[in-house]
Structure 1
Amino acid sequence: MSSLTASGFAAVPSAAAPQTTSQKTFATGDKTFLLNGKSFVVKAAEIHYPRIPRQYWEHRIKMCKALGMNTICIYIFWNIHEQREGVFDFSGQNDVAEFCRLAKKNGMYVIVRPGPYVCAEWEMGGLPWWLLKKKDIRLREQDPYFMSCVDRFEKKVAEQLAPLTIQRGGPIIMVQVENEYGSYGEDKAYVSDIRDTLRKYWDTSDAKTTLFQCDWNSNFEKNGLDDLTWTMNFGTGANIDDQFRRLRELRPNAPLMCSEFWSGWFDKWGARHETRPAKDMVDGIDEMLSKGISFSLYMTHGGTSFGHWAGANSPGFAPDVTSYDYDAPINEYGAPTEKYWLLRKTLQKYADGKLPAVPGKAAGIICIPKMTLKNVAPIYMGVDSTAESRDVQTFEEMNMGYGSMIYNTELPEISEGSMLHIDGHDFVQVFVGGKYVGKIDRVKNERSLPLPATKKGNVLTLLVEGMGRINFGRAIKDFKGLVGDVTLTADVDGDELTWNLKDWRMRRIADDYQTARRAMTTPRNDVALASNTPSAIGYYKATFKLKKTGDTFLNMETWGKGQVYVNGHALGRFWSIGPQQTLYCPGCWLKKGENEIVVLDVVGPKLPVVWGQNKPELDKLQLEKSAKHNNIGDKPDLNSATPIAKGETKPGNGWQTIGFSNAATGRYVAIECPSTHDGKPVAIAELYLQSADGKRLSRDGWDVKYADSENLQGNHTGDKAFDLQESTYWQTEREAASPHLLVIDMGTEQTVKALEYLPRMEQGAPGSVKEYKVYVY
């Protein structure tokens, strides 16, 4: 028998295994899900099989079950299964069917989210890079080529997983259609095509799979299909009744589910480590279960974006770190945290009988003594392909998905004072005659660099490293390498002259272990030496011996920027700026006796030393300057300026639109906040600007020009006011005096007619702006 919650809904025991009778069904019922005809509350743990070494899959599943969950929720990552067009891999680490069978073995149901787009802070949101070889492709739309590729992929996924649906005796109870499409656009015809594709490959005449779609409460109506179950995504601290209010109005008899209840958040290079209070997470789940609301906890265990699989966020370009710890209840290396124990105590209330014992560690923790990597090969030894063309070519045009490219051309004679202008994705180091001149960093929205005086024929070398492709919003069409003209400008006798550089030589360097191994073993040659990059930039190798194996954390603080491989396994990216300074090395990838480590450093290390420590370092920044946007030289003088709008907002949650009496034109928008409704520090979750015709302006070029106060403790910097994430927010420091000021650089001059403002989503909208003044200049 199932116990009843306070609202009268059945609470199904977390430990209940999928039944073995022939009458197996899962369906959407009247205000509840129905499992084999009985009321069922989904308590799902989101974990991702590519982010967990296969040897640890079962341990992580058992950790979720012991927490009190009854279901595992997974994305299917297209780009890890079809790394070359038409060539699929569902073996080894990619054997998702085996992952699902392990879930069933341990008494857990499974929810499958096969995209084709998944976001997940994963490279290109799960879409394969080779789609971009077709430059005019329309991603996540009814583009014929895109849809044919989707059809082929979804067919292959269904071949692996459709036999494992509950109707066929397996653990899979639901399958998701697309993913948060309302944050991308409004296109019911496209979403319908994805639904039809899944039905074609998952359903049979006697077995219909339960399909659902998820979105935010602010946009789910844009693409909601009548024949699909609708679920909401929101994070800890959200007002749960508000999140479901509109859904209850539209579908009063539908079961309620939060398909992504965000337990924490992801980290970005150059920003503080993200955390969320344990109590807020537990209180939200407790409230949902008390009301019979199903949920999936994103993430219950985040794991690691090994290799080059970490993505990047937008607006702007904010690449994600390797660790996907996510401040989740089960940390990156599989250990329970404070959140785990608090949540387990709460979930015990909704289970029949005692929860299973928490399993021991999957592996012990070891330290590895400091070692110096003395075997060195310069980066040009990794070159595997060379091309020459009049214009620069992207990675995709050079048929490379991930890695670096060396671009060479000759310079004209220019006296001191010339500027190099470049569309560089993502991290460009500039050399003239083999000497380092500087870098152009996309993360900082840099596009130009001053050059020294040059002689005709001096060789310009651009070493371009590609980081993760953007995984969210329209910017997922993210080409790598140089994507446009490279130009020089200089003042010559009072006239500004421009040179469009042509005749390029390009050398491809993939960032896989096979390339690194070849670079370390191939004899050098004089032709390769013409690449004009310092020898410190390149590959470093050492071996080390172990008497016992275990998980460890490789400290990379003395290195620059690049990738690490241990015994052929790609551990992921490192970057000295932090906040992540260690890389998780699973003990199952180490061996007793001799082990190999190879480091590719595209910048060059301060010291080529590595050691393995017994705990991670995920929150240590080593920035060139402060992460705050409070340079006094960037603060505008508004004393004599006239605001384009002023007044007071309404208290409470939800979007508000502030209209201007007249359209205003300028590059910068300044929002002055003299007071809040509750006296707490100012907080703004999201901002949009409308054009004169009432349409939202693109925020891709936005940056923070100035913020008088930013709370770095919670990573509530000014850019959180326009990061496409409603659960993050700009917040001022507690002690900072009013009025507060946030200035946004729109990138170019724009004409604006209104401002859309969203306060924090938590109940009562803490810190919501009361008085306001808006300036455009």
Structure 2
Amino acid sequence: MSDVIQNLSMFYVSQERSFQVDYGNDTFLKDGEPFRYVSGSIHYARIHPDYWQDRLQKMYSAGLNAIELYIPWNLHEPNPGEYNFEGGADLLKFLRLANETGLLVILRPGPYMCSEWDLGGLPAWLLKHTSIALRTSDENYLQPATKWMNKLLSMVKPFLYKYGGPIILVQIENEYGSYPACDYTYMEYLHKLFVNVLGDDVVYFTTDGPSKSMLTCGMIKGVLATIDFRAVENATAHFDLLRSFQPNGPLVNSEFYTGWLDHWGEPHQTLSTSIFTKSLDNLLSMGVNVNMYMFEGGTNFAFWTGGNYKNGMYRPQCSTHDYDAPLSEAGDPTEKYYAIREVISKVLCNTRSNIKVFTLPPQPVPQPTPKASYNAMNMQFFGSLLDVLQIISPHGPIKSKYPVAMEMLNQYHGFMLYRTTIPTQAATTGLLNCSGIRDRGYVMVNGISQGVLERITNPNINITYKSGDTLDILVENQGHINYGIGMYDPKGIYSNVTLNDTLLLDWSMYPLTIDKIIPKIKKSLHRSAIRVRPAVNSPSFYYSEVILDPNNDTFLDPMGWSKGQAFLNDFNLGRYWPTKGPQVTLYIPAPVIDKGGKNTLILLELERAGETVRLLDKPILDGPV
């Protein structure tokens, strides 16, 4: 309680500050006056913290009076009871910046958020309970979720509008009507938990798709219901449906989609500016409160991308979360941005009603961040993954008769190496069957690549071997399912492996901390001779030392390479996969560039290495698939 009281002193607290719903007049009331918001979604975890202020200022300059943000549980509690609120996870700093910029906040604290984020924001350590029922009143889920929500809500409580902070609305769960569990007990429990921590005078809301089944399972009695839908859909019909469930209250589209997400191997998604702004004009003219999702999409750095089931197939999402949003992945105003600003000016700033008139900020829109391109640079071979195994798995292997899923071994992201010895076999070639692969396995015999296993589409490959050979399967977690069915999604190898119908036993499993190799590579570059590339590819590290301008963003172009993970200095830029598309480039924000000028670019190439990479001043997000 003392922490809460201390935090309250950050803001000037006025007894007149209030935010509530006027159901009789179908509107919000802010300080007793009718109010509506036009907001945009922005995710602090997808933006370098040095750029938070820049992005918030650009959103404010667009005419928005609020922002909407999710809080990813797995970012803040990477292990049970271990909390992270520093650097890019400094939520409270982000809320302070929003308040100082003049933007109100619509908070979506979860515990689930979806958002194309790994496991929808839920921590993968929950999957260690093999029978867990996520997003339900199952005690295995509810107990850690309750502990987390109590901590989180207590932290954000001082930022409520009534205390002088920016938070005007708080969402309970997220699109729960889309989840097949439909556990009313769970939703009512969360509502009581929120009220217990934040109070009963906070405006809570739910968000669901515009269908009877979704609203039936997603709404909570006494809580404002909102819906979400695309620009090409019939707004009037959707709100008529909402009115059949909730006759009164302000109308809200909590996710009015400015674009859409990208999956690897599928065409880049866009939404034309004219279609979007025409629909936005219509919604604002109807008096609807609108949140544009996304206003800036940002980037899924490191291993934070999620995955979906789509037409019965697993589809991992791209590292970019550009979303064809009004602010680009690099935070630059687009044609859509200026068109949205014009609609806000036309519809809201030049008309009067019972809603307080909007005014566009007098200052000009902030300029795009500067960009730079550079000449192609050679990438030197450093060593195979197997060469540095002791560095990236310093505690050595965990042994088991049968393969064990990554989460059971406290490996929640990235990679794990599974190793066994091939038993006595008469044959020298055979079919390796690994139906339990999740999601992608790079197979090696005595360090020589044999091929790639893929979840669902290619779980079997033929390999060449002899008895006593070492079989390694490097398994890549490409992102836990973040939406809908199948969210219990353990990674690694979770079932038995056979070779010519012979069960392979006695596995050594190496949890890999890839980031640990980065400082090792940088330290050893000048102490060792240039290593010769092997004639046969296997998962390996490559590097280049480059001079970059720390004042300019840039984009890594790995065309000519196949698939892997990229790092600049100690910063994990994300996954690249130009052979799959549509994303080609990886965004490099200027703050991760060394101010001394010299930088170490490192690639973990998993399949087929190229020779050079380029750094461009423009992204390529719509490459061939």
Report if TM-score (shorter chain) is over 0.5: yes
Cα distance, 1:438–1:363 mapped onto 2, change above 3 Å:
same
Structure 1 contact 52–304 (Cα < 8 Å) conserved: yes
1:64 to 59, 63, 71: 59
Could you say which residue in structure 1 is the equivalent of 2:587?
A: 584
Structure 2 contact 14–163 (Cα < 8 Å) conserved: no
Partner secondary structure for residue 330 of structure 2: coil
Could you say which residue in structure 1 is the equivalent of 2:461?
A: 449
1:377 to 370, 383, 390: 383
Amino acid at match of 1:594: K
Could you say which residue in structure 1 is the equivalent of 2:330?
A: 333
Could you say which residue in structure 2 is the equivalent of 1:188?
A: 184
Q: Would you say 1:102 and 2:97 are equivalent positions?
A: yes
Q: Structure 2 regions of 5+ residues with no counterpart?
A: 1-10, 350-357, 526-533
Partner Cα separation in structure 2 for residue 458 and residue 79 of structure 1: 39
Deviation at 1:457, TM superposition (A): 2.3
Partner Cα separation in structure 2 for residue 406 and residue 156 of structure 1: 35
Could you say which residue in structure 1 is the equivalent of 2:496?
A: 485
Deviation at 1:536, TM superposition (A): 4.7
Partner Cα separation in structure 1 for residue 147 and residue 359 of structure 2: 45
Cα distance, 1:418–1:373 mapped onto 2, change above 3 Å:
closer
Cα distance, 1:483–1:358 mapped onto 2, change above 3 Å:
farther
Q: Would you say 1:501 and 2:501 are equivalent positions?
A: no
Structure 1 contact 555–610 (Cα < 8 Å) conserved: yes
Structure 1 contact 377–520 (Cα < 8 Å) conserved: no
Partner Cα separation in structure 2 for residue 617 and residue 362 of structure 1: 17
Q: Would you say 1:541 and 2:543 are equivalent positions?
A: yes
1:36 to 21, 25, 31: 31
Partner secondary structure for residue 588 of structure 1: helix
Deviation at 1:285, TM superposition (A): 1.4
Structure 1 contact 367–613 (Cα < 8 Å) conserved: yes
Deviations 1:308-338 (A, max 9, x none): 1111111421111111000001111111111
Partner Cα separation in structure 2 for residue 514 and residue 308 of structure 1: 15
Could you say which residue in structure 2 is the equivalent of 1:718?
A: none
Could you say which residue in structure 1 is the equivalent of 2:408?
A: 397
Structure 2 contact 63–359 (Cα < 8 Å) conserved: no
**Pairing of 1:37-436 with structure 2 (within 5 A):** 37-185=32-180, 186-203=182-199, 208-218=201-211, 219-315=214-310, 316-349=313-346, 350-351=348-349, 352-361=358-367, 363-374=369-380, 376-380=382-386, 381=388, 382-384=392-394, 385-411=396-422, 412-415=424-427, 418-422=430-434, 423-436=436-449
Cα distance, 1:518–1:147 mapped onto 2, change above 3 Å:
farther
Structure 1 contact 565–599 (Cα < 8 Å) conserved: yes
Partner Cα separation in structure 2 for residue 97 and residue 201 of structure 1: 17
Deviation at 1:560, TM superposition (A): 2.1
Structure 1 contact 434–533 (Cα < 8 Å) conserved: no
User: Which stretch shows the higher mean deviation, 412-421 or 312-321?
Assistant: 412-421
Deviation at 1:130, TM superposition (A): 1.2
Structure 1 contact 431–533 (Cα < 8 Å) conserved: no
Partner Cα separation in structure 2 for residue 470 and residue 102 of structure 1: 32
- TM-score w.r.t. length of structure 2: 0.89
Deviations 1:88-146 (A, max 9, x none): 11122111111111111111100000111100000110011111122222211112132
Q: Give the RMSD, CA atoms, in angstroms.
A: 2.2
Amino acid at match of 1:365: K
Could you say which residue in structure 2 is the equivalent of 1:597?
A: 601
Deviations 1:517-569 (A, max 9, x none): 3466589xxxxxxxx99675222222222355310001111222221111211
Cα distance, 1:247–1:445 mapped onto 2, change above 3 Å:
same
Deviation at 1:604, TM superposition (A): 3.8
Q: Structure 1 regions of 5+ residues with no counterpart?
A: 1-17, 490-497, 524-531, 624-777
Deviation at 1:506, TM superposition (A): 1.8
Partner Cα separation in structure 2 for residue 596 and residue 200 of structure 1: 50
Partner Cα separation in structure 1 for residue 336 and residue 95 of structure 2: 25
Deviations 1:290-317 (A, max 9, x none): 1111111000110111111111111421
Structure 1 contact 560–604 (Cα < 8 Å) conserved: yes
Q: Would you say 1:616 and 2:613 are equivalent positions?
A: no
Structure number with higher helix proportion: 2
Structure 1 contact 579–620 (Cα < 8 Å) conserved: yes
Partner Cα separation in structure 2 for residue 358 and residue 49 of structure 1: 24
Structure 2 contact 555–618 (Cα < 8 Å) conserved: yes
Amino acid at match of 2:325: A
Structure 2 contact 522–600 (Cα < 8 Å) conserved: no
Deviations 1:328-351 (A, max 9, x none): 011111111111111111000202
Could you say which residue in structure 2 is the equivalent of 1:771?
A: none
Partner Cα separation in structure 1 for residue 368 and residue 332 of structure 2: 9
Could you say which residue in structure 2 is the equivalent of 1:569?
A: 571
User: Which stretch shows the higher mean deviation, 418-427 or 52-61?
Assistant: 418-427
Structure 1 contact 516–539 (Cα < 8 Å) conserved: no
Deviation at 1:488, TM superposition (A): 3.0
1:461 to 472, 482, 485: 472
Partner secondary structure for residue 476 of structure 1: coil
Deviation at 1:359, TM superposition (A): 3.1
- CA radius of gyration, larger in: 1
Cα distance, 1:60–1:270 mapped onto 2, change above 3 Å:
same
Structure 2 contact 12–163 (Cα < 8 Å) conserved: no
Partner secondary structure for residue 200 of structure 1: helix
Partner Cα separation in structure 2 for residue 520 and residue 594 of structure 1: 11
Partner Cα separation in structure 1 for residue 537 and residue 519 of structure 2: 17
Deviation at 1:358, TM superposition (A): 4.0
Cα distance, 1:477–1:518 mapped onto 2, change above 3 Å:
farther
Partner Cα separation in structure 2 for residue 588 and residue 52 of structure 1: 11
Could you say which residue in structure 2 is the equivalent of 1:766?
A: none
Structure 2 contact 307–480 (Cα < 8 Å) conserved: yes
User: Which stretch shows the higher mean deviation, 358-367 or 240-249?
Assistant: 358-367
- TM-score w.r.t. length of structure 1: 0.72
Partner secondary structure for residue 512 of structure 2: strand
Partner Cα separation in structure 1 for residue 59 and residue 178 of structure 2: 29
Q: Would you say 1:437 and 2:450 are equivalent positions?
A: yes
Deviation at 1:413, TM superposition (A): 1.4
Partner Cα separation in structure 2 for residue 606 and residue 567 of structure 1: 20
Deviation at 1:606, TM superposition (A): 2.3
Partner Cα separation in structure 1 for residue 86 and residue 195 of structure 2: 25
